């Protein structure tokens, strides 16, 4: 019988990702004996499969181009849905916010619109350079539709991320006049920061308080962290301890039930300690630095956008944004000396299935030991 073989070229990026996964396992199951829900296990497994599949088929330029076009198109559809919610034609997915698109919160919704808008800007620029004015006109109309709803989403994190990404868009050009434009945008960002803070001051103060409590979590386990999904389980206890020690803190009134760090870097530091955050930041920097096989400038801009957005939100806890981060990072040239070949496809499938069964059995066996803790946490966060 014919064996279908795949060619997987290992790069330094793959090694960094593998090291992070191994530390994820060590921090979660060896140092902390964490309990991972079936949903979280499936979520992590899905991201792993997406990464492996993207690394195998990343050389298909047509697939990459179609992906960017598809995201730009979906962004315009999301904008139309958002306007339908604005005019009360379509029902929102959140009881407190009128505009969420197909998402459950305006924050991730604004982030996705910003991604689509950045792609539309990139394509429009190339149509302008190529003097294809009809295509440029159509892209401008789509961009106005997406951009107007992007502003209406009121996602300040997405606004900041797009402004910085567009600044780097001009910095990546060789001509100085474009770099001056990027510098002007960065100056605009610096001057607009106080306005953005005052725009939703209570929300900003709430996040500052959460970040302050995060420092307590990091200090409690600086080297091993608390393990996977430990932030939601530990935060409320850490917040209670912090308020007991600092009852008159200026942000004490902002305390509330919370399971999000609103900063991916702080969450990683809380859950995986110093080694985890170092690996995490290195993966981001290497993903931005290394070259892709197609549209490298656009890929870098999107990664910069998502990296900045992650400073103020929970990017990897929203599946579409997490998948996009994984895919963009995996789009790169195979320029490493670390290579290996001749993996029969069925062996790869068997290996992934075995990893899933082992992880699932390990988490299920410890669930009964942690039943009382899980019940308490459920009562606390409902």
Half-sphere exposure of 187 (CA within 13 A, CB side): 6
User: Is residue 332 scored above 80 in pLDDT?
Assistant: no
Q: For tokens 């003097």, what's the residue?
A: 131
For residue 307, the model assigns a pLDDT of 95
For residue 287, the model assigns a pLDDT of 85
For residue 39, the model assigns a pLDDT of 80
Host domain of residue 84: 5-381
Dist. CA 271–CA 281, nearest whole Å: 14
User: Is residue 249 scored above 90 in pLDDT?
Assistant: no
Q: Which of 311, 350, 360, 266 is nearest to 40 (CA)?
A: 360
Domain count, the chain: 1
Binned at pLDDT 50, 70 and 90, residue 369 comes out as: very low
Dist. CA 344–CA 289, nearest whole Å: 32
User: Is residue 33 scored above 90 in pLDDT?
Assistant: no
The more confidently predicted of residues 375 and 77 is 77
For residue 371, the model assigns a pLDDT of 40
Contact predicate 159/309, CB 8 Å: no
User: Is residue 184 scored above 90 in pLDDT?
Assistant: no
Binned at pLDDT 50, 70 and 90, residue 80 comes out as: very high
For residue 325, the model assigns a pLDDT of 92
For residue 290, the model assigns a pLDDT of 74
The residues, ordered by sequence, that sit 6+ positions from 241 with a Cβ below 8 Å of its Cβ are: 216
For residue 382, the model assigns a pLDDT of 38
Binned at pLDDT 50, 70 and 90, residue 244 comes out as: confident
User: Is residue 311 scored above 60 in pLDDT?
Assistant: yes
User: Is residue 144 scored above 80 in pLDDT?
Assistant: yes
User: Is residue 27 scored above 80 in pLDDT?
Assistant: yes
Neighbours of 222 (CB within 10 A): 12
For residue 276, the model assigns a pLDDT of 94
Dihedral sign of CA atoms 103, 17, 57, 172 in order: positive
- Average pLDDT (173-194) is 74
What digits encode the pLDDT tens for the residues 219-237? 999 999 898 888 988 898 8
Q: Which range has highest mean pLDDT (22-26, 111-115, 213-217, 291-295)? A: 111-115
User: Is residue 264 scored above 90 in pLDDT?
Assistant: yes
Q: Strands 340-344 and 5-8: what pairing?
A: antiparallel
Residue 343 pairs in a beta bridge with 6
For residue 337, the model assigns a pLDDT of 47
**Model's pTM, two decimal places?**
0.86
User: Is residue 4 scored above 70 in pLDDT?
Assistant: no
Residue 378, CA distances (Å) to 145, 236, 257 in order: 42, 12, 12
For residue 266, the model assigns a pLDDT of 94
* Continuous segment of H or E residues that includes residue 344: strand 340-344
Q: For tokens 């320029």, what's the residue?
A: 335
For residue 291, the model assigns a pLDDT of 67
Binned at pLDDT 50, 70 and 90, residue 140 comes out as: very high
User: Is residue 154 scored above 60 in pLDDT?
Assistant: yes
> Which two three-digit tokens encode residue 379?
């009562």
Percent of the chain with pLDDT over 70: 80
Q: Which of 32, 26, 35 is nearest to 369 (CA)?
A: 35
Considering the chain, what is the average pLDDT of its residues? 81
The more confidently predicted of residues 203 and 373 is 203
Binned at pLDDT 50, 70 and 90, residue 335 comes out as: low
For residue 359, the model assigns a pLDDT of 54
User: Is residue 366 scored above 70 in pLDDT?
Assistant: no
Binned at pLDDT 50, 70 and 90, residue 97 comes out as: confident
Q: Which range has highest mean pLDDT (7-16, 140-149, 163-172, 248-257)? A: 140-149
The more confidently predicted of residues 35 and 176 is 35
């Amino acid at each position: 019988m014919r064996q279908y073989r795949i060619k997987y070229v290992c790069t330094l990026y793959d090694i960094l990702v593998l090291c992070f996964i191994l530390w994820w396992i060590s921090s979660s199951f060896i140092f902390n004996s964490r309990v991972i829900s079936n949903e979280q296990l499936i979520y992590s497994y899905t991201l792993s499969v997406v990464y492996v599949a993207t690394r195998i088929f990343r050389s298909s330029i047509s697939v990459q181009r179609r992906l960017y076009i598809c995201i730009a198109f979906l962004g315009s559809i999301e904008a139309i849905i958002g306007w339908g919610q604005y005019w009360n034609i379509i029902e929102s997915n959140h009881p407190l916010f009128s505009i969420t698109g197909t998402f459950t919160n305006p924050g991730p919704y604004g982030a996705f619109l910003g991604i689509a808008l950045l792609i539309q800007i990139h394509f429009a620029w190339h149509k302008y350079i190529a003097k294809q004015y009809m295509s440029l006109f159509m892209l401008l109309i789509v961009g106005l539709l997406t951009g107007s709803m992007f502003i209406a989403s009121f996602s300040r994190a997405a606004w900041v991320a797009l402004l910085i990404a567009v600044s780097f868009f001009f910095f990546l050009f060789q001509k100085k006049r474009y770099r001056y434009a990027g510098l002007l945008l960065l100056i605009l960002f610096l001057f607009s920061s106080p306005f953005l803070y005052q725009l939703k001051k209570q929300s900003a103060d709430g996040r500052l308080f959460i970040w302050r409590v995060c420092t307590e979590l990091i200090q409690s386990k600086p080297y091993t962290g608390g393990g996977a999904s430990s932030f939601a389980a530990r935060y409320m206890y850490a917040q209670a301890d912090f308020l007991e020690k600092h009852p008159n803190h200026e942000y004490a009134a902002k305390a509330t039930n919370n399971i999000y760090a609103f900063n991916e870097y702080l969450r990683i530091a809380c859950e995986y300690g110093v080694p985890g955050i170092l690996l995490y930041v290195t993966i981001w920097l290497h993903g931005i630095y290394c070259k892709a096989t197609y549209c490298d400038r656009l890929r870098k801009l999107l990664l910069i956008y998502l990296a900045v957005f992650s400073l103020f939100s929970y990017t990897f806890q929203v599946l579409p944004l997490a998948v996009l981060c994984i895919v963009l990072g995996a789009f790169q040239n195979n320029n490493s000396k670390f290579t290996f070949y001749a993996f029969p496809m069925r062996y790869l499938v068997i290996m992934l299935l075995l990893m899933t069964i082992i992880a699932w059995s390990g988490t299920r066996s410890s669930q009964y030991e942690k039943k009382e803790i899980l019940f308490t946490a459920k009562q606390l966060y409902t």
